[in-house]
Structure 1
Amino acid sequence: MASSKDRQRKLARAKYERQQARRAERERRRRRISAGVGATLAVLLIAVGGAWIGGVFDSEEPVDTAASDVCLWTPQNPQTNPDLKEVGTPPTKDLPEEGTETMTVTTDKGAPIVVSLDVTSSPCATASFTYLAGRAFFDNTECHELTTEGALRCGDPSGTGQGGPTYSYYDENLPAQPSPAPSASAAPAAEVVYPKGTVALIGNPKGSNGSQFLIFHKDYTPTGDPEYSIIGQVTGGLDTLAAIAKIPTVENSAGAKVKPKDKITVKTLTVGAAAASAAPAPSAES
């Protein structure tokens, strides 16, 4: 018969073996769980990576549905310049930015002068002229100069050269100064900056435009930097412009011999649909 000490040793040995077996089972279970978690994480990482590449997690930028400003108008104070005429300001948003528009200038000197306005190059100038024309700003005003540069100057209701609306805007389509000829011996014909029929803005001061404009009745190339932003080109009424150019000039209040001896009146100036309906049929000159 086994002694009590032998039985105790056997019981202790059995207990130890049971503990080891439980530890081994727990370790196997832990390894299976770890392997399963690792595989799951790998699948998730692959899925998340694909989704990230596909842009699923890209944050959508907030969409600004408000229209942006196309043009900005600088206020001018009529208290400091009484020759300015208060007519409000044109809109700043939802303005045409491409194509052309028709402007028709009807004077008391013959057939209307039709101008193609370059909306693409001068969207703000076109917007301003459209706005002012819609308010009859130019109607029954005087073209107060035949400039020494070869242009008819119009668009100032005061007839002083200082007038315009109570806002201004900057140059948009200022031509570049022509490059100098490579040599005097083989100089090509000079590039004309303002060809006959060009319609340009004249600001006071330079670069600050309002309503005044020039219609060139002959080619003009400045000796320095060009200072008149181009808005369009005459497409009809060149005969009228040529006849106006022949009117003699006398000295104005500043002593410059640019004032037409015969008064030149803009009866109406229209832009857009109104201009198209008022314009005459194209002539051979255009």
Structure 2
Amino acid sequence: MRKAALLLVLLVGLVAAGCGGSSNEGTVTEPETQTESTAAGGTSECTDAEVPTAREDGGATEPKERLDPEKTYGLVVETNCGTFTITLDQAVAPATAASLVALSKDGFFDSTIFHRIVPGFVIQGGDPTQTGSGGPGYKTVDVPPSDAAYTKGVVAMAKSGAEAPGTSGSQFFVVTGDDVGLPPEYAVVGTVTSGLDVVELIGTQGDPATEQPTRPIVVESVTVEEQ
């Protein structure tokens, strides 16, 4: 039964959430009903890739300053299935948005994988250890609004079941179902504003039974756009 309440051991902080060490970040709980996601648009296939060498957990430094509120920040995620862009929502998640920009500029997400792919639900990545148990070595907290909706294209942060709502490390997920019915527990950091067809394609590259990718889906780079 995949509805296992936010595995304490999948994204940011298995037991300790905290800084460095083997902090498992937890994973989002899958609802009972799933629908298959299909790719739309111009992207039709992924190129072959090998799983990059895993890196150690932690090692990053939490940024002390927020982003410029007068600017719009986008994360351009280049993968072996194509490229998509996440536009960050500073109003809802200022601390997490600043963290993701800092991590991206430091190359933290480069040569990582989507380690969890559940068709019709989410694709999940952001772990340098490639296992689903790693993070940057620190946590941010941006409590999502009570009416937060996790619909297709929404990007949010995974956490362990023991952590408070809105707790984030580096592991993020992109919703691929129309409305997956998650509770307002996960910091909402933005929306895919370009390349949703690529996200949908990645969402088909997983085994529903194991929630594991059926082939390596590699994040080759994440770059920051400022407007």
**TM above 0.5, one fold?**
yes
Which residue does 1:246 correspond to in 2?
204
Per the alignment, residue 162 of structure 1 pairs with 133
The Cα shift of 1:99 comes to: 5.1
Root-mean-square deviation over aligned CA pairs? 2.5
Change (3 A) 1:80 1:247: closer
* Bigger helix fraction: 1
1:272 equivalent in structure 2: 225
Structure 2 residue aligned with 1:216, among 175, 178, 182? 175
Matches within 5 A, 1:1-286: 76-79=18-21, 81=23, 84-90=57-63, 92-93=64-65, 95-97=67-69, 100-110=72-82, 112-147=83-118, 150-172=121-143, 174-177=144-147, 193-204=149-160, 205-206=162-163, 207=165, 208-222=167-181, 225-249=183-207, 257-273=210-226
Unmatched 5+ residue regions in structure 1? 1-74, 179-192, 252-256, 277-286
- CA 1:142 to 1:170, structure 2 compared with 1: closer, same or farther past 3 Å? same
Amino acid at match of 1:170: V
3-state SS of 1:164 partner? coil
CA distance in 1, matches of 2:191, 2:19: 31
Larger-gyration structure (1/2): 1
Aligned length: 177
Pick closer, same or farther for the CA change 1:234–1:134 going to 2, 3 Å: same
Change in CA separation of 1:148 and 1:245 when aligned onto 2, cut-off 3 Å? closer
TM-score (norm 2): 0.69
The structure whose RCO (Cα within 8 Å, separation 6+) is larger is: 2
Provide the rounded CA distance (Å) in 1 between the counterparts of 2:200 and 2:66. 38
Greater displacement, 99-108 / 209-218: 99-108
**Any idea what SS the aligned residue of 1:260 has?**
coil
Instruction: Give distance in 2, aligned partners of 1:84 and 1:138.
Output: 12
- Please tell me whether the aligned partners of residues 250 and 260 of structure 1 are also in contact (alpha carbons under 8 angstroms): no
- SS of aligned partner of 2:141: coil
Question: Which SS does the other structure have where 2:96 is aligned?
Answer: helix
Give the Cα separation in 1 of the matches to 2:66 and 2:20.
28
